[in-house]
Every structure is written in C-alpha cells, then in structure tokens.
Amino acid sequence: MICLFNVNKIESKKRWFVITHLFFLYIHVVVVDCKRFYTAPYLLYRIYNTMRSYFILFFISSLTGFSQDISQESILLKRISELQVQKDSFYHAGMFPTLRTNARNTNIVKHDNNIFFTALVAFSLKQLRNNFTPAQQVICDTIVQRACRAYPYFKHHSGRPSYNFWPTDHPVIFPNNRLLNLFNQSQALPDDIDDTSMVWLSQDAPDSVVAIIRNLMIKHTNAARKKIRNTFKLYKNIPAYSTWFGNKMPIDFDFSALCNALYFLYDRKVSFTKYDSATINLLRLMIVHKQYKTDAAYISPHYGRTSILLYHISRLLNRFSIVALDSLKPQLLQDAYMELSKSDNMMDSVLLSTCIIRLGGSVTKCSYDNIHFVLAEQSRFVFFMASFASMMPNPLKRLFLGNSRLKFYYSCAAYNLTLILENLILQKK
C-alpha cells in the first residue's frame, strides 16, 4: 500500500501557498525568464493562466461550503471544459491548448496546435462517462462533442478516415518554429496509427471506417513494403504494425502506440489476423525482457519513459483479456510498485497509481486537494515527445536518441487534469 503524496495540513496553507506562488512567479518572470528568451506573449499567457487557474478552482471549491453537490469530479470537469477552446483561432474550436518545448532549452515554450491531446482528453472522458452523475455526464458529453468538431481539420486530405498530428488543410510541422517551418511542404508528416486510433476511440466508428483503417494498418506492417532498421535484432522480422501511414516513412515500432492500436482493434471487435498476433507477440517480448524499464525511449521513442509505457499497457490489459499478455500482469504490477516508490513527480505518481489499480493492485487512497489540481494544470508534465532520432536507422537512432537538440516535449494542462480525474474515480471503485 503506497500513498501518492502527503496532503496533511495542506488546507490551512492554501492562502499562503497562492500568495507565495504568485509572488515567486512574478519574480521568476521579471528577473529570470526575460533573460531566457521567453516570448512576451508567453510571459503574459503564463501569468494570466496561473492567476485564472487559482481564481476558478478556489472560487468553485469555496462553493462547497454552501452545496455538497459540488464534488471534486465536477470541479475537474468544469475546469477541463473551461480550458477547451471556444472559437477558432490558432487552435480550432473544441481543441485543448498544448505547449511544446525543445529538450535542449525547456524555457522556450511554444503553442502547438496538434489534435493528439484533444483526442486523449475526449477518449479518456468517454471511458469514464458511466462513473459520472447525470449532471456531470452532460458536461462530459459537451466536451467530447466539441472535440469531435475539430477532428475534420486533421483528417487526410483525400477524405480517407485517418488522422494526422497536425492540421492537414495546410502542411505544417512544429508550428511557431520559424526554422522548421521552412520545411512544412517538403517534410510534412503522414497520418499515423496513434492519432487515428485515439480520434476514432473518442467517437463512434462505423464498420466501413474500421475496415479501411484495418487495411491501412496491414498495408504498413513491418516487411510489407520495407523492413524496420532501428529495433532490436530479435524483432526485425516480426510483421507488427508501424507507427506511420506513409510509404516514404521508415517502419517504426512504438510500444505505447501499439497498445493504443490494439485497444482500438479490440474495442471495435474486429476479427484478428496474423498481424495482430505479431503485434501482441512483439509487446510480449518487450515485456518479458523488461525493455519498458531498461530501454523505454528505444522501444517507445514517442513516449520514452517507463511510467508512461506502464500506463499504456495497463490500460489495455485492464479493459481486454489478451491471453499472451495476461500472465505478465504480476511482473508489470511489481514494476509499477517499484517505480511509484521512487517517483518524485506528482503526475508520474498519478499515472503509476492508476497503473497499479488497473493491474489489480492497491494503493493507499489519498484525498486530492484543489492545490493538486492547480499544480497539475500548471505542470509542464511530459506525456508525449517527438524525436528526429526515432526515424533514424541503427546505429544512429541509439547514438542520437538522447540528443536534446533533436527532441521536443509536449504537455497539456487539460490532459493533466483528466489524468487526475481518472485516478480519482479509479480510487473510489
């Protein structure tokens, strides 16, 4: 039994915490950030968003003294709804803002209008819907419906039901990066298995659409047209699914993306093929060899950390019984406990707690405080990353995978709150 974090006596410290945090934020912005190349709009955005977060969350929480109906789930749902873009701008209406930083200098922060985190929030809320009250379900449904209205901007330009990380109406890579935007046309990324799976998991996919996506996945399996050149020798001949839906792209295995793809296929109850079995076998071998611990960034270059790989596999195995993987749950559970015991990051602890519950373990129930909600929203917790090294052949992938200049981190405030909401609900089951 492991507790996530100590919340004792935090209630009495709320006001001083807020005042102190805002004071040091002001000092940080004026004295430090201006010397670290932050753009002026981001400085204003950070101050505004922090103060707005405190005001909204503490105002809502103050109402609990008058009404016992305002639960923490309602507070989180309302705040997630507040963070959703209401009208088209840099982000399309229905999206959730995402921040991107280069790993070399995380002080330079850019807005990134990808659809991935919006789909993650919508998918997660849809999975949690049955645990909400009728009033909460209305908020949940509204958030998901708004998100779905943004999806067409990321659909394949031919109308094919696959989705891209970035908008497809005008090719762009790494928005708000003047240097990389010079290559928008020549280096535009194809649609991928991860975004496509998440987008369709957050909405209803007719059988005809599922069939098209399934054929697209098979078309881009390893060895169908080309062979993977940047994985372990043991996996080079496994005809598992690749991340990218592009003929010019190299074959890429990503542990977490494959978990999402299998989740989509199981959820849609499709008839399984040898390619599904091969993908499951690939995951099994990676788990047996504990590469989610020893080589997390190598087997999952788009997620890159043990806690996040455990989160993905536990989500899959909690929802579906997969014979080849079910027997590995005790190993995964033990490693999740170990990772949680040494975690010093609040959001990592939330993820690992969720993993443990999903794998059949138990953690000490810990009451969340609104301070945690504010910290989660303001945290630049890295759930997803992009690395140029992920597309390089061996030995270059190994050599450059840790190069911070070639790596970008992504964070999303709304998804952080969604992860806490998910954990809060699972703890109550």
Rounded CA separation 421/429 (Å): 13
Is residue 249 situated within a structural domain? yes
Q: Angle at which helices 413-428 and 116-128 pack, to 10 degrees?
A: 20
Query: Which tokens go with 29?
Result: 């912005």
Rounded CA separation 70/64 (Å): 6
Is residue 4 situated within a structural domain? no
Name the amino acid, one letter, at 176: N
The CATH number of residue 408's host domain is 1.50.10
Is residue 257 situated within a structural domain? yes
Mean pLDDT by 10 residues, the chain (429 residues): 42 47 48 42 57 54 46 96 95 97 92 97 98 97 98 95 93 80 67 98 95 96 94 97 93 98 97 96 98 97 97 98 97 97 94 97 85 91 94 94 93 97 93
Predicted pLDDT at 161: 97
Smallest CA-to-CA distance from 270 within 191, 315, 212 is with 212
Q: Which H or E element spans position 16? A: helix 14-27
Query: Which tokens go with 141?
Result: 């449904």
110 phi, psi to nearest 5 deg:
-125, 145
Predicted pLDDT at 184: 57
> What does DSSP assign to residue 244?
B
Rounded CA separation 412/85 (Å): 13
3-class DSSP state of 68: coil
278 phi, psi to nearest 5 deg:
-65, -40
Domain span at residue 71? 11-428
Is residue 3 situated within a structural domain? no
How far, rounded to the nearest angstrom, does the alpha carbon of residue 82 sit from its chain's CA centroid? 19
Is residue 64 situated within a structural domain? yes
280-283: long-range pairs with CB below 8 Å, 24+: 280/322, 280/324, 280/325, 281/238, 281/240, 281/324, 282/235, 282/238, 282/240, 282/253, 282/258, 283/255, 283/258, 283/259, 283/313, 283/325
Is residue 227 situated within a structural domain? yes
Predicted pLDDT at 45: 55
Contact 147, 122 (CB under 8 A): yes
Predicted pLDDT at 49: 59
Predicted pLDDT at 247: 87
Predicted pLDDT at 306: 97
Q: What does each C-alpha distance from 409 to 110, 122, 224, 314 come to in angstroms?
A: 10, 21, 31, 23
The domain total for the chain is: 1
Query: Which residues, other chains included, contact 349 with Cβ-Cβ below 8 Å and sequence gap of 6+?
Result: 4, 5, 340, 343
Is residue 2 situated within a structural domain? no
Is residue 1 situated within a structural domain? no
Predicted pLDDT at 173: 79
Predicted pLDDT at 40: 53
Residue ranges with strand state E in 103-157: 105-111
